[in-house]
A and B are shown apart, each in its own frame.
Chain A
Amino acid sequence: MGCRQASSEQGLVLSAMGFMGPERIPLFPLNVVLLPGAILPLHIFESRYRQMVRHCVDEKCDFGVLLALPKGIVRVGCTAQVTEVVKRYNDGRMDIISVGRSPFRITQLINSDAYANDELLQGDVDFLDDREHRTDARTQDELMRLYEVCHTLIFEDYPRNLEGEAAENLSFLVASTLPLDLLWKQQILELRSEADRQQRLVGYLREWAPHLQKQEKAHVRAGGSSVN
């Protein structure tokens, strides 16, 4: 089973290895969109994934997380690095903590029937780098303000993870922290510019945020008719 070396400086590692083309990695379809930097705790119980995680831990390499939809898996995912095996059960199950690392696009599914046959799915993937890193200061400021308020409304606390966060990671931080629609998160994952991601999130949060506090009290009766 091939897989990507886990490293906080994966780009440098791959350059040193002379990496040029697609790479084969094990794939884990989930009802989750993993974003770079996001923490993903997992309970691993299926045999194929227990084997995959053991391999990734032993070889210090990553696996790929992909959003599974009713019509199939999406083609853009994010690698996950196992940072901690929290618990190993006697029957082989595991609780692990993983963290999102690098976005990738599947160029070819190696064994596309594997998933239905309870086998491990693998794919050849291209890793996706951002094409530019510039951001717009006004958009970024608006995103931070929207994030602060949304976070406070949802979690009844300030977002404490903003401090010291690099500007180019803001969109992934916001999208992974707030309980956004999965398809919106997938869109953020697929954009290859932080400026575009921030702009998309601002547009989404502007629409989404005003609904956070609407509740039953918002339904008034006027003239005997309910108003929704």
Chain B
Amino acid sequence: MSEQKKTRRQMLEEFVARKPDDAFSRYGLAMECMNSGDPASADEHFRALLHGNAEYIPAYLMYAQMLVRESRPAEARTVLSSGIAAAEKKGDQHARSEMETLLSELA
């Protein structure tokens, strides 16, 4: 009997289980959950990611955009504020500017 091919999400879950602190694996899994219509799991993985890797800048904007789509603007604003501070600390002006734009539109 041939082995059934794993889904991309299952493969990413394996990577995260093997290395829970790896930022990009966790980000990939959060994005995969988000894009496949599972915002609850995406939320969980974005939170875990930013808890363990607060300097992983790309996650803030993606997470905030998802929260906006989920009609959770207050939480989106909190995430964006943290993200702007993290981007500033890291000197990532482009990410900071993107997040400031979204934050201003949510005001």
Give me the interface of A with B, judged by CB distance under 8 Å. 145-146, 148-149, 152-153, 156-158, 206, 209-210, 212-215, 217-218, 220, 222-223, 225, 227-228
Contacts and interface: CB of A to CB of B under 8 A. Distances in A.
A222 B106 contact: yes
A interface majority secondary structure: mixed
B8 A149 contact: no
B58 interface: yes
Nearest to A225: B105
B31 A209 contact: no
Interface string B35-63: 10000000000000000000000100010
Given A210-B58, A213-B28, A220-B69, A148 B35 contact: no
B interface majority secondary structure: helix
A206 B34 CA distance: 20
Interface residues of B, number: 26
Given A145-B22, A149-B12, A156-B8, A220 B65 contact: yes
A153 B22 contact: no
A217 B34 contact: yes
B19 interface: yes
Interface string B11-32: 1100100010010110110011
Given A152-B8, A153-B8, A223-B105, A217 B58 contact: no
Contacts of A228: 98
